[in-house]
Amino acid sequence: MTALDPNLAQRLKDVVGPKGWSEEPNDIAPHLVELRGRWLGQTPLLLKPSATLEVARILALCNETRTPIVPQGGNTGLVGGQIPTRGEVLLSLERMNRIRSVNPEENLLVAEAGVVLKHAQAAADAVQRLFPLSLGAEGSCTIGGNVSTNAGGVNVLRYGMMRDLVLGLEVVLADGRVLDLLRGLKKDNTGYDLKQLFIGAEGTLGIVTAAMLRLFPKPAGYATAVAAISNVSVAVELLNRLQHATGSQVTAFELMQRESLDLVTKHIVDTMNPLPDWRGWTVLIEVSNPAAFDATDALQEALAQAMDQGLVADAVFAKSERDRAAFWRLRETLPEAHRLDGATIANDISVPLSRIAEFLAAADAAIRAALPSARSFAFGHVGDGNLHYAIKAPGNDAALLAARAALELIVAEQTAKLNGSISAEHGLGLAKNESIARYKSAAELDLMRALKRTLDPNNILNPGKLLPPD
């Protein structure tokens, strides 16, 4: 770890005041390791500013002194983007946790970067509105991280990614200047839409300090079902039919595999497979009913029709909020069940909707050819073409982990062949910033690097993340 100049350290501490920093290893430790334990960071100083102007002064000092700095929200990222692996100063936004305003009439909410997603959801709910971003880590991930990773989750099908939910941003640039783009305007064609630069940029082009978020009418209720599908290749057709039948009210369409559900019921308490006799693929389907229109009957009818035509083998509807929670618990605990059952190599890919089945067949075959004991488990937001694709080798963890690089390469190659993405929603961070260079054109990589040089000429903002090494 590079030692921090004591004079600079003191100036940084002065900016944030006594509550705003720590050098205590015990305070710092939880910020240095991420969920899966793949990267371990180190830092000479943890800064916890409480206001945008403090972030501005910190960056101005860091930029002047060429001091690298890593921003961190809820530390729930899965690709290492938030970990100071090179001994950088660590900037936690956790104290910037105010909801600055809620405006139900205009369907807008302004949250600081450190607001936990669940709290933003609750603030919307309190005024009878929905903030639709929803994902496994919502109890600890933060709005700043959601913006910086362009978070996805289970409602993308209907409401889009975080990019689609951000109407304005406040960003501190590398040199400490504050870019105030918190305009509450749905339409504004006055030049380049600068906020787009910072969404999904993983803190490499600026530090997001606040976001103006779009709110939606709160659904009046939900219709939730688990359906057994005859074959993964019918999933897209089924989704199109259900969208047609329900007036595009389907908000979630999540693929699950029998083998994964078995791991859930084995490892997670209070779980039950509602289709215990079905050996094949299932989808968790949810329709959000607007106040004006209950699509439950339409969903039931469309599923019955799909059953008659052989697309769906069986379906179970949630009869209560408790059933609904139980169905969702299966989906939400699935990654944890995989982890609890031994080593997992997780992949987060997307392919064009119509090629999902093709991907699964080709990737599975290639993986087994490379490591005969390996098994793949696909699950996730299939309505968006996004698969979480986990590789395991039951009873053979050491071999699996030894083959990590080869297996990840196989998944990446199969994805690229079908014009897919090797990171549908998790980002690049440290996990995929090298491999991405294989799949992007020289023009694209050059332009990415040029943007980085333009916005962060001294390379102080989350250096070494997202961009491939030169």
Q: Which is nearer to a copy of itself, 224 or 246 (CB)?
A: 246
Is the Cβ of residue 63 or residue 149 nearer to a copy of itself in the bound state?
149
DSSP string of 277-337? T--SEEEEEEEEEPTT---HHHHHHHHHHHHHTTSEEEEEE--SHHHHHHHHHHHHTHHHH
Using CA atoms, how far residue 21 sits from 12, 15, 18, 41, 423, in Å, is: 9, 10, 6, 17, 34
Nearest to 78 by CA among 120, 29, 22, 135: 135
Give the integer Cα–Cα distance in Å for 222 and 243: 15
48: left (phi over 0), alpha (psi -120 to 50) or beta: beta
Residue 118 to residues 123, 139, 226, Cα–Cα distance (Å): 9, 5, 25
- Judged by CB, which is closer to a copy of itself: 287, or 312? 287
For a copy of itself, the closer of residues 62 and 236 by Cβ is 236
Task: Give me the least distance between CB of 268 and a copy of itself, in Å please.
Answer: 26
Give 158 or 392: the residue with its C-beta nearer to a copy of itself.
Answer: 158
Q: Output the smallest distance, CB 17 to a copy of itself, in A.
A: 26
Between CA 281 and CA 360 the distance in angstroms is 12
Residue 378 or 467: which CB sits closer to a copy of itself? 467
Tell me how far, at minimum, the Cβ of 381 lies from a copy of itself, in Å.
Answer: 8
Q: How far is the CB of 459 from a copy of itself (least distance, A)?
A: 15
Minimum Å distance from CB 443 to a copy of itself?
Answer: 4
Count CA within 13 A, CB hemisphere, residue 22. 12
Token readout for 325 is 């929670």
Say how many C-beta atoms besides its own lie within 10 A of residue 210's C-beta: 27
Q: In whole angstroms, how close is the CB of 21 to a copy of itself at the nearest point? A: 26
What residues have CB less than 8 Å from 40, skipping those under 6 apart?
32, 33, 83, 85
Nearer to a copy of itself, 41 or 380 (CB): 380
Shortest distance in whole angstroms from residue 355 CB to a copy of itself: 9
